[in-house]
């Protein structure tokens, strides 16, 4: 697996992963996803699987940052892995890369929302040092709540 920064030519494959990972009511629409990947205050990482015959995206992650009163804070918009590539450490590496990008942007903390029923993602975040900081009931369009996880970013 190769990890690299997103290129605009990746968009169709990136959005195909979005469609594979989320029902239509839960997914970002194409326009909003394109905006996320183009923001100056964000970085999109991709995981790319290459064989002798072809190359395809296996996953991606988008992190953005905002200046707050107490400094810069990063927010993970999404981490998505094509179902065919799950359980191979792709999400862990994408998470690490988003944290590194947030540190490079001088963020002091990073946070995210995660579906309260997504036990695999919650386990990953906890294993990587994230702690639960709250709950938003009925956050998602399907009625599920969102858990809020965050962690301070040290020097890495």
Report how far residue 123's alpha carbon sits from residue 92's, in angstroms, rounded to the nearest whole number.
11
Confidence (pTM)? 0.91
**pLDDT reported for residue 155:** 65
List, for residues 32-56, the tens digit of each pLDDT value: 999 999 999 999 999 999 888 889 9
Residues 79 and 70: beta-carbon distance below 8 Å: no
Count structural domains, the chain. Answer: 1
Domain that holds residue 70: 2-152
pLDDT at 149 over 80: yes
Q: Quote the tokens at residue 134.
A: 């709250």
User: Residue 8, SS3?
Assistant: helix
Three-point CA angle 19, 124, 138, nearest 5°? 60
**pLDDT reported for residue 115:** 87
**pLDDT reported for residue 44:** 98
pLDDT at 156 over 60: no
Residue 153, exposed/middle/buried by CB under 10 A (0-12, 13-18, 19+)?
A: buried
CATH no. for residue 139? 3.40.630.30
**pLDDT reported for residue 144:** 82
Mean pLDDT of 106-135: 94
**pLDDT reported for residue 101:** 96
Q: What is the DSSP string of 94-137?
A: HHHHHHHHHHHTTEEEEEEEEETT-HHHHHHHHHTT-EEEEEET
Q: Which of the 8 DSSP states describes residue 108?
A: E
Q: Quote the tokens at residue 79.
A: 């981490």
List, for residues 58-117, the tens digit of each pLDDT value: 999 999 999 988 889 999 999 999 999 999 999 999 999 999 999 999 999 999 999 888
């Amino acid at each position: 697996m190769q990890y690299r920064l997103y290129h605009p030519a990746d968009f169709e494959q990136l959005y195909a992963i979005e469609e594979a990972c989320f029902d239509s009511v839960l997914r970002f629409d194409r326009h909003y996803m394109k905006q996320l990947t183009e923001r100056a205050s964000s970085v999109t990482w991709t995981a790319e699987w290459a064989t002798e015959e072809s190359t395809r995206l296996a996953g991606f992650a988008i992190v953005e940052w905002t200046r707050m009163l107490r400094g810069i804070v990063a927010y993970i918009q999404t981490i998505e892995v094509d179902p065919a590539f799950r359980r191979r450490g792709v999400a862990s590496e994408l998470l690490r890369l988003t944290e590194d990008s947030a540190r490079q942007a001088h963020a002091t903390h990073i946070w995210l929302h995660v579906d309260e029923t997504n036990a695999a993602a919650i386990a990953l975040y906890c294993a990587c040092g994230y702690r639960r900081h709250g709950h938003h009931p009925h956050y998602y369009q399907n009625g599920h709540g969102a858990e809020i996880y965050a962690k301070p970013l040290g020097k890495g």
